[in-house]
């Protein structure tokens, strides 16, 4: 592996088509600059919007740590993130690039701060997701790609 790349695995893909709508987990999807995750409410670029939070990515290890703190077990998709990755630490700075599969590239824009809705799911979940960017990252798609569970995830440096 190239010394400038770190590698992990795409473990999950999720989307929802309306605010507070049910989360659908899927095994593969097309992700584009104009639409984000196909079929996801938050991904479509709207006039006057930056797309800063077009797609969300969370580490499986961070999710597990938050649940361990609370001594509970919940499926990852209740976090309402689009992508779950394992085996690598996501960068904690804006501008870093995540590559998934052959072509999808996402630029990290900010931390994905957990909202009060997390406490509706489980008391204390919001606080458990606050340390060290456990809630994941928000990003913008900068190059389209088809992705599937099991795809390699790399951090470009």
pLDDT at 76: 97
Interval 98-112: pLDDT, tens: 999 999 999 999 999
pLDDT at 45: 73
What element of type H or E holds 118?
helix 117-121
Site of tokens 């799911």: 121
pTM score: 0.92
Instruction: Determine whether domain 6-97+104-142+150-156 maps to CATH 2.40.33.20.
Output: yes
- Helices and strands, number each (H, E), in the chain: 3, 11
Sites in the chain below the pLDDT cut of 70: 1-5, 49-51
* Tally of residues, the chain: 157
pLDDT at 2: 42
pLDDT at 18: 87
pLDDT at 78: 94
CB 39 within 8 A of CB 66: no
pLDDT at 21: 87
Domain ranges of the chain: 6-97+104-142+150-156
Residue 121 tokens read as 């799911």
Question: From CA 31, how far away is CA 43, in angstroms rounded?
Answer: 9
């Amino acid at each position: 592996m190239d010394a400038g790349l770190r590698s992990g695995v795409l473990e999950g893909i999720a989307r929802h088509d309306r605010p507070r709508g049910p989360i659908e987990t899927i095994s593969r999807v097309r992700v584009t600059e104009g639409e984000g995750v196909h079929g996801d409410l938050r991904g479509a670029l709207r006039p006057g919007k930056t797309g800063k939070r077009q797609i969300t990515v969370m580490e499986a290890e961070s999710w597990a740590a938050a649940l361990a703190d609370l001594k509970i077990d919940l499926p990852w998709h209740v976090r309402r993130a689009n992508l779950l990755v394992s085996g690598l630490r996501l960068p904690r700075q804006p501008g870093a690039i995540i590559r998934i599969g052959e072509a999808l590239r996402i630029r990290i824009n900010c931390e994905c701060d957990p909202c009060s809705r997390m406490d509706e799911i489980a008391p204390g979940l919001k606080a458990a997701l606050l340390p060290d960017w456990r809630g994941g990252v928000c990003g913008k798609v900068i190059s389209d790609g088809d992705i599937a569970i099991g795809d390699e995830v790399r951090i470009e440096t």
